[in-house]
Amino acid sequence: AASDPDLVARARAAKEALGDKVFVLGHHYQRDEVIQFADVTGDSFKLARDAAARPDAEYIVFCGVHFMAESADILTSPHQQVILPDLAAGCSMADMARIAQVEKAWEALAQAGVQDQVVPVTYMNSTAAIKAFCGRNGGVVCTSSNAEVALDWAFAQKGGVEAGTKVLFLPDQHLGRNTAVLKLGLGLDDCVVWNPHKPNGGLTAEELRDAKMILWKGHCSVHGRFSADVIDDLRAKVPDLNVLVHPECQHEVVLKSDFVGSTEYIIKTIEAAPAGSSWAIGTELNLVQRLAKAHPDKNIMFLDRNVCYCSTMNRIDLPHFVWAMESLVEGVVVNRIEVDPQTEQEALVALQRMLELPG
Ligand code: 13P
Ligand code: SF4
**Ligand 2 nearest atom to the CA of residue 91, by list position:** 1
246 annotated to bind ligand:
yes
pLDDT given at position 359: 80
**Ligand 1 nearest atom to the CA of residue 44, by list position:** 2
Of 15, 11, 7, 8, nearest to 57 by C-alpha is 15
Distances, alpha carbon 346 to alpha carbons 70, 115, 155, 243, 284, in Å: 13, 20, 21, 39, 31
pLDDT given at position 111: 96
* Backbone dihedral angles phi then psi of residue 134, each to the nearest 5 degrees: -65, -40
Residue closest via CA to ligand 1's atom 1 equals: 43
Of 88, 85, 89, nearest to 38 by C-alpha is 85
Residue closest via CA to ligand 2's atom 8 equals: 91
Q: Which ligand places an atom closest to the C-alpha of 285?
A: 2
Q: Which residues pair with 145 in a beta bridge?
A: none
User: Which domains can be identified in the chain, with CATH numbers?
Assistant: 5-91+313-339 (3.40.50.10800), 94-220 (3.40.50.10800), 223-302 (3.40.50.10800)
Q: Is the CB of 60 under 6 A from ligand 2?
A: no
Low-confidence ranges of the chain (pLDDT < 70): 1-2
248 annotated to bind ligand:
yes
pLDDT in tens, 12-24: 999 999 999 999 9
**Ligand 2 nearest atom to the CA of residue 94, by list position:** 1
Which mutation among 63, 65, 71, 249 tests ligand 2's pocket best, with the greatest number of atoms within 8 A of CB?
A: 65
Residue closest via CA to ligand 2's atom 7 equals: 220
DSSP E strand stretches across the chain: 22-27, 40-42, 59-63, 81-83, 118-123, 140-142, 166-170, 191-194, 213-216, 241-245, 259-260, 278-282, 299-302
Residue closest via CA to ligand 2's atom 2 equals: 220
pLDDT in tens, 116-142: 999 999 999 999 999 999 999 999 999
Q: If you average pLDDT over every residue of the chain, what do you get?
A: 97
Q: Which residues pair with 299 in a beta bridge?
A: 278
44 annotated to bind ligand:
yes
pLDDT given at position 1: 56
ipTM of the complex: 0.98
Q: Measure the CA–CA gap between 300 and 288, rounded to whole angstroms.
A: 8
